[in-house]
Amino acid sequence: LALLGPAPGAPCCPHGPALLFVKTSQGKEEGRRFYACSACRDRKDCNFFQWEDEKVSETRLAAREEYNRNHQPSFTHRQNVDRYKNFVLLPSSKRRFCQECQQLLLPAEWGKHSDHQFLCDITTAQLKSPSQLLYPLENKKTNAQYLFADRSCQFLLNLLVDLGFRRVLSVGTPRLHEMIQSKASQEEEFSVRSLLLDIDFRYSQFYTEDEFCHYNMFNHHFFGGEAARETCRKFLCEENGERVIMITDPPFGGLVEALASSFKKLMAMWRETEKEGLDNREMPTFWIFPYFFESRILDFFPSFSMMDYQVDYDNHALYKHGKTGRRQSPVRIFTNLTPSMIVLPEEEGYRFCTVCQRYVSSGNQHCEICNSCTSKDGRQWKHCVLCKKCVKPSWFHCNNCNCCALQKHSCEKTDVGCFVCGKAGHKRSACPSLSHA
């Protein structure tokens, strides 16, 4: 499949406008183009499908609109804000949270949920940490709520403050958002503000319309319409020298090109707000994603570079810091800020390479031949004279394939080129012709 992107007048599913796709074979487009859900790659999660050239009857259109309406949350954001105000006024003994419906309950609603599991005596501290109260959604391609561990969250926040940013557009980073909110309410001198954009509407129970927008980062859709878009636009206005940075932590199974398209639109929104005109400047950004997507991200944002800092997560079995070998977290920060400005913690083994002018991990040794710190995964890589580049320590040069690979690889597989364009040297997911589409 190749993504052709958002199309004007695209039909909608409960997740907003659908994206246009086409089936490809060896680089040639073939078959009909079709629309599918932007957020869910799995038909079990959202089965929306429509051929691009299909004539949809009035009856079916009406049924679809009805379906989309029925699949919206039972309360509006405004109603949730009002409910929260009432909830906070209740004594601790009357504060309940339904675990099955993932909803704060007012006493009048207890009857409806009487046969559900619920938590009682919800504290103010719990209300200030909704990411720990809510059950994480772990669909890898749509929500994938793997939440930053405290170490990573604290590091990111300290870094932002040190870099002089006072506004954070938190796109799919609820834990960082709540850490900023919590610090702002406790410390008078703390002046950082955050706006959370997230597809998880459950957060509307805890944040006002100025603190949270229901947003789909795969199609740049604000569910709250023009009012929510305006909230975001206002937040991006840099008044009194309050610099803005976007931090985003998308689901790793999501389409890079769809994400890049949305991030470019958010950057364009930021440029529009500037009175002096920012021309082609990019909004400062941290895109948090696994290192093996580096070439794909750089296709869309050539100004980005990858930092060595390992981001780790609380509720992910593999993405934990401090492991060694291949079990280290593969998640990195991609940024358009000058790499030398990103100071990484020396107590965790990061050091400054004066040649590369950036902080690198302890295992990332500078290669004199490549004239660069070449390791991507935290281990020390080795230089292959025949490949003219550094490779993973477990790889060896194969004369049949004329490149480095694992010792136990099967040589015949290397003759098969990319499924999309037929050329060797890359997989389908990293095909340059996909990014042009």
Domains detected in the chain? 2-71 (no CATH), 77-122 (3.30.160), 150-362 (3.40.50)
Report the chain's terminal Cα–Cα distance, integer Å: 11
d(CA 295, CA 301): 10
For the chain, the helix, strand and coil percentages under 3-state DSSP, each to the nearest 5: 30, 25, 45
In this predicted structure, the answer to whether residue 39 has a pLDDT above a threshold of 50 is yes
In this predicted structure, the answer to whether residue 165 has a pLDDT above a threshold of 80 is yes
Question: Cα–Cα–Cα angle for 138, 143, 144, nearest 5°?
Answer: 45
Rounded average pLDDT over 138-155:
73
* Residue-wise pLDDT tens digits, 328-357: 788 999 999 999 999 999 999 899 999 999
* Residue-wise pLDDT tens digits, 147-158: 888 899 999 999
More confident residue, 209 or 5: 209
Q: What is the largest CA-CA distance in the chain?
A: 74
In this predicted structure, the answer to whether residue 142 has a pLDDT above a threshold of 70 is no
What integer best gives the mean pLDDT of the chain? 87
In this predicted structure, the answer to whether residue 129 has a pLDDT above a threshold of 80 is yes
pLDDT at position 361: 92
d(CA 161, CA 76): 34
Q: What ranges in 26-108 are assigned the alpha helix state H?
A: 58-70, 77-89
Rounded average pLDDT over 398-426:
71
Query: Is the pTM of the predicted complex or chain greater than 0.85?
Result: yes
Rounded average pLDDT over 233-239:
88
pLDDT at position 327: 62
* Residue-wise pLDDT tens digits, 52-98: 999 999 999 999 999 999 999 989 999 999 999 999 999 999 999 99
